[in-house]
């Protein structure tokens, strides 16, 4: 066991004082909230290395590992399935497997076909996969490849028709949005590299299959503030993309912009701007819904877009009455 004197690496304190309801509240570690900053990543790596070295010296750790392996071998598990046409995709952890594999069935009760097995990559038991997106016709599967349980991952795409992993990929980093084009000509995405020179640059790109990533087009720019997050939604039935910009912090808000799938030049038009509080939009086929606390601060509720998803003229912030004209409350 490590000596009790040997403590973890020190954490630098940089006090930030906020006045809340007339009371001063000091936060000495506000700087750690910027998870993409080089010094934050360095702090995480130092703390992780210390933790691994500490637990490595605990006696009886192998007994615990052996017991956990016994439990893992009892029964496999399945994730919630993705249904595309007649096909079903899901994660499946088989008996004694360290990590789940990505599996497909051609029908609900069909035979399991293993599509991606991280154990076959030869990079160790800490390599994990997860499903990110599936094309509308079920031909393309986008999945994340994560090493060691990190909060960042690389993206790869499997062509199920030709049974080949495409060269079109995204490197290790943070993916906030990904949508396949309905005609399978490429995909829209919002991604920033692990060590990006501009970590707060929130932008969506268009990538055509077969092109080098340096040729990708910027189709939507959300801003360059640390408290912005950009996601991408799609409705193949409505032939629309939606860019959703979330602003975090003391004044949370959501803005939403619509764009036709065919418009790769990137002329998105605002639908909703600066909706305060919780507002989480999503598509169900050609209908737009949202989970929100607008006019329902205690229990929240679901709202639905009324009529067609037309784009109003930009008018700054929407009032509650203006929002009612767009969403059925």
Provide the mean pLDDT of the chain.
87
Query: Residue 282's CB: how many other CB atoms inside 10 A?
Result: 14
pTM score: 0.74
Per-residue pLDDT, 155: 97
List the domain boundaries for the chain. 13-50, 67-166, 176-329
**Contact of 123 with 138, CB cutoff 8 Å:** no
Tell me the mean pLDDT in the region 68-91. 83
Per-residue pLDDT reduced to its tens digit, 294-323: 878 788 888 888 654 544 433 334 444 545
Interval 282-293 mean pLDDT: 90
Classified by CATH at the fold level, domain 176-329 comes out as Methylamine Dehydrogenase; Chain H (2.130.10)
Q: Contact, 13 vs 29, CB < 8 A?
A: yes
Residues 6+ apart with CB under 8 A from 93: 76, 77, 99, 100, 101
Q: What confidence score (pLDDT) does residue 305 get?
A: 81
Backbone angles phi and psi of 12, in degrees to 5: -70, 135
pLDDT digits (tens, 9 = 90+) for 95-104: 777 889 999 9
Structure confidence at residue 264 as a pLDDT band (50, 70, 90): low
Residue 312: its pLDDT value, please? Answer: 41
- pLDDT at residue 132 above 90? yes
Please give the Cα distance from 282 to 318 (Å, whole number).
Answer: 19
Q: What SS3 state is found at 100?
A: coil
Longest dimension (CA), the chain: 68
- CA–CA gap between residue 221 and residue 163 (Å, rounded): 35
Q: How sure is the predictor about 1, in pLDDT bands with cuts at 50, 70 and 90? A: very low
pLDDT exceeds cutoff 70 at 75: no
Model confidence pLDDT, tens digit, residues 140-180 = 999 999 988 888 999 999 999 999 999 999 999 999 999 99
Question: From CA 242, how far away is CA 232, in angstroms rounded?
Answer: 6
Residue 173 has a pLDDT of: 95
Return the pLDDT at 57. 84
Q: Given this model, what pLDDT does residue 295 score? A: 79
pLDDT tens digits, 189-199: 999 999 899 99
């Amino acid at each position: 066991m490590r000596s009790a004197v040997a403590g973890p690496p020190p954490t630098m304190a940089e006090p930030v004082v906020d006045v809340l309801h007339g009371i001063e509240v000091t936060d000495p570690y506000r700087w750690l909230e910027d998870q993409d900053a080089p010094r934050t990543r360095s702090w995480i790596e130092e703390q992780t290395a210390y933790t691994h070295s500490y637990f490595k010296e605990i006696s009886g750790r192998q007994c615990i590992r052996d017991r956990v392996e016994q439990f893992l071998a009892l029964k496999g598990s399945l994730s919630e399935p993705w249904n595309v046409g007649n096909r079903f995709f899901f994660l499946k952890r088989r008996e004694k497997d360290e990590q789940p594999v990505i599996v497909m069935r051609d029908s609900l009760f069909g035979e399991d076909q293993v599509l991606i097995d991280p154990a076959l990559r030869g990079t160790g038991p800490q390599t994990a996969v997860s499903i990110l997106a599936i094309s509308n016709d079920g031909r393309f599967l986008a999945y994340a490849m994560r090493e060691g349980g990190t909060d960042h991952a690389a993206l790869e795409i499997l062509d199920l028709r030709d049974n080949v992993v495409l060269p079109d990929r995204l490197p290790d980093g943070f993916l906030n949005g990904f949508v396949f084009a309905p005609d399978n000509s490429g995909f829209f995405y919002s991604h920033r590299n692990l060590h990006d020179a501009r970590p707060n640059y929130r932008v969506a790109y268009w990538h055509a299959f077969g092109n080098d990533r340096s040729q990708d087009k910027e189709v939507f720019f959300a801003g360059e503030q640390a408290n912005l997050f950009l996601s991408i939604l799609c409705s193949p039935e409505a032939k629309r993309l939606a860019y959703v910009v979330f602003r975090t912090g003391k004044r949370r808000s959501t803005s939403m912009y619509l764009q036709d799938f065919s418009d790769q030049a990137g002329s998105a038009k605002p639908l909703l701007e600066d909706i305060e509080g919780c507002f989480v939009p999503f598509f169900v086929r050609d209908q737009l819904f949202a989970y929100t606390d607008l006019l329902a601060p205690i229990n929240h509720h679901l709202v639905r877009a009324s009529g067609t998803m037309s784009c109003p003229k930009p008018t700054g912030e929407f009032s509650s009455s203006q929002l009612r004209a767009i969403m059925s409350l």
